[in-house]
Amino acid sequence: MSMHDHSDHDQPQGSFLTSRPGLVLLGFLAIGGFLLLTEHRAHVLGALFYLLPLGCVFMHFFMHGGHGHGGHGHGGGHRNQPDERNPS
């Protein structure tokens, strides 16, 4: 058997966005986005009016589950335990 050097196969590959074709793609996307924004500015600025109400609705639906608003366990503890503020 012969010994081959496979050291180039062991190195991790970089991501697509940091490669030369990825950077070219990002450049074209940036130029295309800039041209679309400048040519269609009236349409884009007209749509900004709807982003605040839509943002509020989406935040209400998707972010309330993260801080205990599930409807279960509200009210500061179990009913069987005495209230610590009123030890009577």
Provide the whole-model pTM.
0.39
The per-residue pLDDT for range 15-61, each reduced to its tens digit, is: 887 899 999 999 999 999 999 889 988 887 888 888 889 988 888 88
- SS3 sequence, 5-73? CCHHHHCCCCCHHHCHHHHHHHHHHHHHHHHHHHHCHHHHHHHHHHHHHHHHHHHHHHHHHHHCCCCCC
Asked if residue 36 lies in contact with residue 42, where contact means CB atoms within 8 angstroms, the answer is no
CA distance 39 to 41: 6
Q: What pLDDT, on the 0 to 100 scale, is given for residue 46?
A: 85
Q: What pLDDT, on the 0 to 100 scale, is given for residue 88?
A: 58
